[in-house]
Structure 1
């Protein structure tokens, strides 16, 4: 039995999960991926744990939570800027950090890619939303999720009531059938409010699940996607 098997028993995955072409994904990224991540992605598909923790997935419905989308590179550039300017202390070489998830509060999850060519040995790091604090888990993403969802490990950056409403996985409403390279937002394409909310949370904005999205967030989204 693997850690992923233990997680599946604890938190049953949905049915009808889309199939990922892993050789194509790894070729697109230019790197091998940890086996436990691929097992998780195959079992659960795109979605969130406890309505809070979103793992990036190569078939995610929007590019902002897509493992092959623009966010990992964008976040790495932000970390490199923080590291170089001393804005926030970054405890790892930003070149060794690859973003693999985001919380509704804006914390990012990373693989620590050390050793570079041994993905089975990559640990997990969590960065505080809009802040300097970091948390490191010695183990892979499946072990991290199992530790958090069982309460065996409490991440100080996560809300204390994370498990109060039970352990669950919510699948994304739709998924693409194949990984797509990032492109600028085509002009004139209708954009859902869910897509803007996902982008806003991934970029550190606080936004409610329902109701009107503040104009400041909408304007920021438009500026980020202007051609």
Structure 2
């Protein structure tokens, strides 16, 4: 799916360089799955930043690294949640393969990518820690971004103010 709407909303790519050759493949080797191309394109151009002042999106070259972010968030999710019948089936099917890709600093929610399962492609889910539940969104990563950035369709409880995009307080990502 095209991310041209992202460029229309956020302007040209905000990073001078893409992740170094091999950074994505090294990460994919660690997590055991090839990540969706629209996710990688977005993170390469706009990652290591905050969306709406509250949604932190790490980059493969972030510190801590994206691999460390994924591992840490997965550990936290496993401490907070157990795969049970109250959880959406799509999350239970992907429980051991979920890939955290963003953290919401307002209330500790985590956005995860759910790898494809038979008959269904990549999905985005949000783990609402305060409400102890998950919500699976229709569509893929691009559809989720289009919903929040262009259509203003935010997950419940998320503040909607603040700039669409800003660098993290650590400054520009340099590699």
Q: 1:142 aligned to 2:105?
A: no
CA distance in 1, matches of 2:163, 2:124: 23
Per the alignment, residue 173 of structure 1 pairs with 171
- Asked if structure 1 preserves the Cα contact closer than 8 Å seen for 2:100 and 2:113, the reply is yes
Q: Which has the higher strand share?
A: 2
Query: Counterparts of 1:1-227 in structure 2 under 5 Å?
Result: 2-12=1-11, 13-20=13-20, 21-61=23-63, 63=64, 66-69=65-68, 70-78=71-79, 82-83=82-83, 89-91=86-88, 92-93=91-92, 94-105=95-106, 106-115=108-117, 121-159=121-159, 162=160, 164-171=161-168, 172-173=170-171, 175=173, 177=175
Give 1:123 deviation, angstroms. 0.8
CA distance in 2, matches of 1:97, 1:53: 18
SS of the equivalent of 1:136 reads: strand
Number of aligned pairs? 164
CA distance in 1, matches of 2:74, 2:163: 33
Deviations 1:97-147 (CA, angstroms, capped at 9, x unpaired):
22111111211101122328x9x9211111213322332211222321221
CA distance in 2, matches of 1:102, 1:15: 20
C-alpha spacing 1:99/1:166, structure 2 compared with 1 (3 Å):
closer
Query: Over aligned residue pairs, what C-alpha RMSD do you find?
Result: 2.8
- In structure 2, list runs of 5 or more residues that go unmatched: none
SS of the equivalent of 1:71 reads: helix
- In structure 1, list runs of 5 or more residues that go unmatched: 178-227
TM-score norm. by structure 2 comes to 0.77
CA distance in 2, matches of 1:139, 1:169: 26
SS of the equivalent of 2:82 reads: helix
